Amino acid sequence: MRVGIVGYGNLGKSVEQLVKLQPDMELSAIFSRRSKLDTDTRVLPVAEFGQYKDEIDVAILCLGSATDIPEQAPEFAKYVPTVDTYDNHRDIPRHRKAMDEVAREHNTVSIVSTGWDPGMFSLNRAMAEAILPNAQQHTFWGPGLSQGHSDAVRRIEGVAKGVQYTIPAPDALDRARRGETEGLDGKSAHKRVVYIVPEDGADTAAIEHTIRTMPDYFVGYEVEVNFIDDATFVREHSGMPHGGHVITTGGVGENHQLVEYTLELSSNPDFTGAVAVAYARAAARLAEDGKSGAFTVLEVPPYLLSPVALDDLIARDV
C-alpha cells in the first residue's frame, strides 16, 4: 500500500523510517509547507495534496493536536483514507464526528486519535473494565515528555523552545494497585513540569500565565514552569521518553484482581508513529473493503493492523 506523510516534524520523521520497515508498504511522498527537507523521499507541497490522491492509498497526518489536526484533517480526508494522532481527549468525540461527516460524504476512511494514549491505553481501559466486575480504573502518564502538550507550549508567543513532562505521583500508583481509589483522579495524581527557552525580550510572566490557564492541557494540574537557556535545553531536554500505566482493579467479594498495562518508551514519536503506521494498514484495508466514515481504535478489528494473514494469526496467537 502506498503511504503519504503529511508533516515532517519529529513524528513525521519517525513514521518515514517505520514505513520503510513494513513488508506491505511503500512511501509515496511527504507533503510539507517546506520545499526542502533532509530526506530522500519525494517532497510535495501540502497545498497540492489533492492532486496526488491517485498515488496514495492512505495518508498519515503527522500534525500537531493543538490547532493543525482540528483545522486541517477534514480537508485531507476528502481525498484519501487518513490516520491521525489527535490527543485532546475531551475533544475526541467532536473530532470523530467532524471527520466522520467528511469521510462519509467523500467515501473515504479516517481512523482518529491513534497512538498510545489515546490509542493503546484506550483499548486496555475498555477491555479491563469490561472483564473485571466492580472495576476501579486509573490511568497514569509518565514520567515522560508529552508531544501534544509540548506542541501547545511551543505555540505560545515568545517561546523559542519548549517541552512538557508529565510525572505521576508514586503514592498514587500504589494506591491504585491496592484499589484504594477514593479521592484519586488524574489531575491530583500528576504533576506537569514545563521547560521553556524564551525568545529575546519575551514576557516570561505572560508565557507562564498562558501555560497555567490553558484549558484541557494545564488547568487543574499542579504546574511547574522553568525558564532555561538554549544550551541547557539541548543538553537536558532533547530526548523524548514517555510511558505510563493503566491500572484496573476489581473482583467479587474478597477476591482482588489487578490488570495493569505498562509502557516504557525511550522515544515517544517512534512508538506513536508505530501505532499510526499499524492503523494506516487498517484504514487502507477498511477502504478497500468498501467502508467509509471515521473510526477510533475501539472500532477497528485487531487483525486489520497486522501484516500477517488472519488464518496465520489465529493459528499462532489464539
Cell of 193: 513540569
Residue 214, phi then psi, degrees to nearest 5: -80, 115
Binding residues for substrate: 141, 166, 192, 242, 268
Q: How do 26-32 and 257-265 pair as beta strands?
A: unpaired
Binding residues: 8-11, 32-34, 62-65, 85-87, 114-118, 141, 166, 192, 242, 268
Residues 84 and 306: their CA atoms lie apart, in Å, by 18
Beta bridge partners of 260: 247
Beta bridge partners of 294: 110
Q: How do 43-45 and 190-198 pair as beta strands?
A: unpaired
Binding residues for NADP(+): 8-11, 32-34, 62-65, 85-87, 114-118
Q: CB-based contacts of 294: which residues, under 8 Å, 6+ apart?
A: 96, 97, 99, 100, 103, 109, 110, 111, 112
164 in Cβ contact with 192 (< 8 Å): yes
Helix %, strand %, coil % of the chain (to 5): 40, 25, 35
Cα end-to-end distance, the chain, whole Å: 27
